């Protein structure tokens, strides 16, 4: 396996890292992420102009990348700046359109890549626990299309989203894989209730309710009752993106901690000269490098693995990121001391994001159990 990025990817990474450093400083980021909008529409448009969204999709879909390594380059840069813009939603909804959309539906990709619309996946429900197959929201056929009822939880930027990808059950029981269908729903459609709130680590999410929401026949994405496979497919992209984002955040947290150990003095010497802290820093560095390896492995899986093997490698990546991210966050704060918890120190915000990444699209316990189950299925 070649671990060297292509010239195009290096240029993209350099451009994104420079833009994030210049335009997305931590104070400005916090104002945006913890503000009423949860992000900046203007900056999101600039990310689109830089090609950050286009790099997530292949050329035949209107992008100029789309490989696992293209995605990892983009999200690693986003992680370095704790970027709160909705690129993850663009990735998963866009990949769903590519995987299952009609030619008419795929035309929406142009607006997504241009940064003109905010998209969000509305799948998790109240009381669910990361299961892709647990869907209780329902969609019933009507003479003109579908009527949607149910509730969705923790939908990223759900109150702001222009386009929602909603899972609903058209047949079967609450935990059946068969019978799940996917629908493209305009965020302004009548009957959608929205309760937005700020997230712990910045950004916004929403609880959504669907009360007799009327949809046209063309809202169905893919075949009726066959949405589970599409959900599995796009979840893989989300797991890679989150792993890469975590790696970028870990790199910055590591650097902050290393600089602190080299400058903070006790007894007239830098605390980095104390052997106990050197050992802890060495362990932290090893964890970061292990995550770097698992991101490479996950990116390769997106491009080259199929079926159970793909799912196993991506579950392993999310498990590794889950425990390593929490460890890096905790150790970085411990080595800083009390100041590591303060709002004014950027590290505190990186630590919060690292901990919360573990809870998106399945935490480490969920993916460890999933990896074990997939291993037995081989």
Count CA within 13 A, CB hemisphere, residue 325: 31
CB within 8 Å of 161: residues ≥ 6 apart: 86, 89, 118, 119, 120, 155, 187
Residue-wise pLDDT tens digits, 298-313: 999 999 999 999 999 9
Which superfamily does CATH assign the domain made up of 229-377 to?
Butyryl-CoA Dehydrogenase, subunit A, domain 3 (1.20.140.10)
Q: Residue 321: helix, strand or coil by DSSP?
A: helix
The ranges of the chain annotated as CATH 1.20.140.10 are: 229-377
Architecture (CATH level 2) of domain 7-113: Orthogonal Bundle (1.10)
Check pLDDT > 60 for residue 1: no
CATH 2.40.110.10 intervals, the chain: 119-226
- Band of pLDDT at residue 260, cut at 50, 70 and 90: confident
**Does residue 4 have a pLDDT over 80?**
no
Looking at the predicted structure, is the pLDDT value of residue 377 above 90?
no
> How many Å is the Cα radius of gyration of the chain?
21
Question: What confidence score (pLDDT) does residue 266 get?
Answer: 83
How far is CA 257 from its chain centroid? 25
Residue ranges matching CATH 1.10.540.10 in the chain: 7-113
Residue 93 pLDDT level (bands cut at 50, 70, 90): very high
Q: How confident is the model at residue 46 (pLDDT cuts 50, 70, 90)?
A: very high
Q: What is the pLDDT of residues 233-254, one digit of tens each?
A: 999 999 999 999 999 999 999 9
Supply the pLDDT for residue 2.
58
3-state secondary structure 67-113: CHHHHHHHHHHHHHCCCCCCHHHHHHHHHHHHHHCCHHHHCHHHHHH
Specify the pLDDT at position 320.
Answer: 97
The pLDDT score that the predictor gives to residue 273 is 73
CATH number at 119-226: 2.40.110.10
* pLDDT tens figures, 159-195: 999 999 999 999 999 899 999 999 999 999 999 999 9
Mean pLDDT of the chain: 94
What pTM did the predictor assign? 0.96
The pLDDT of residue 267 is 85
Strands 119-122 and 180-186: unpaired
Q: What is the pLDDT of residue 91?
A: 98
């Amino acid at each position: 396996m070649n671990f060297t990025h292509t010239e195009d990817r290096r240029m993209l990474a350099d451009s994104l890292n420079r833009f994030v450093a210049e335009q997305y400083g931590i104070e400005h980021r916090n104002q945006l992420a913890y503000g009423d909008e949860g992000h900046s529409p203007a900056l999101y448009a600039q990310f689109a102009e830089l090609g950050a969204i286009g790099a997530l999709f292949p050329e035949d879909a209107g992008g100029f990348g789309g490989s696992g390594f293209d995605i990892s380059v983009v999200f690693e840069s986003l992680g370095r700046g704790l970027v709160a813009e909705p690129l993850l939603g663009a990735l998963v909804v866009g990949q769903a359109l590519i995987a299952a959309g009609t030619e008419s539906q795929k035309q929406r990709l142009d607006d997504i890549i241009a940064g003109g619309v905010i998209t969000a996946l509305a799948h998790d429900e109240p009381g669910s626990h990361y299961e892709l197959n647990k869907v209780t929201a329902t969609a019933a056929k009507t003479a003109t299309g579908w009527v949607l009822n149910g509730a969705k939880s923790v939908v990223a930027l759900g109150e702001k989203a222009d386009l929602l990808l909603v899972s609903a059950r058209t047949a079967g029981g609450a935990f059946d894989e068969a019978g799940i269908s996917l629908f493209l729903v305009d965020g302004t459609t009548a009957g959608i209730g929205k309760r937005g709130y700020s997230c712990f680590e910045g950004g916004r999410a929403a609880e959504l309710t669907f009360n007799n929401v009327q949809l046209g026949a063309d809202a169905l994405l893919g075949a009726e009752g066959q949405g589970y496979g599409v959900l599995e497919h796009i979840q893989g992209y989300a797991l890679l993106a989150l792993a890469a984002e975590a790696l970028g955040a870990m790199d910055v947290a590591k650097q902050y901690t290393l600089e602190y150990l080299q400058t903070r003095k006790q007894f007239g010497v830098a605390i980095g000269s104390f052997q106990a802290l050197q050992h802890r820093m060495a362990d932290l560095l090893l964890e970061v490098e292990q995550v770097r390896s698992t991101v490479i492995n996950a990116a390769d899986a997106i491009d080259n693995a199929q079926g159970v093997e793909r799912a196993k490698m991506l579950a392993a990546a999310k498990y590794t990121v889950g425990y390593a991210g929490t460890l890096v966050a905790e150790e970085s704060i411990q080595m800083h001391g009390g100041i590591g918890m303060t709002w004014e120190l950027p590290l505190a915000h990186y630590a919060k994001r690292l901990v919360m990444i573990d809870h998106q699209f399945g935490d480490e316990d969920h993916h460890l159990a999933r990896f074990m189950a997939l291993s037995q299925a081989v």
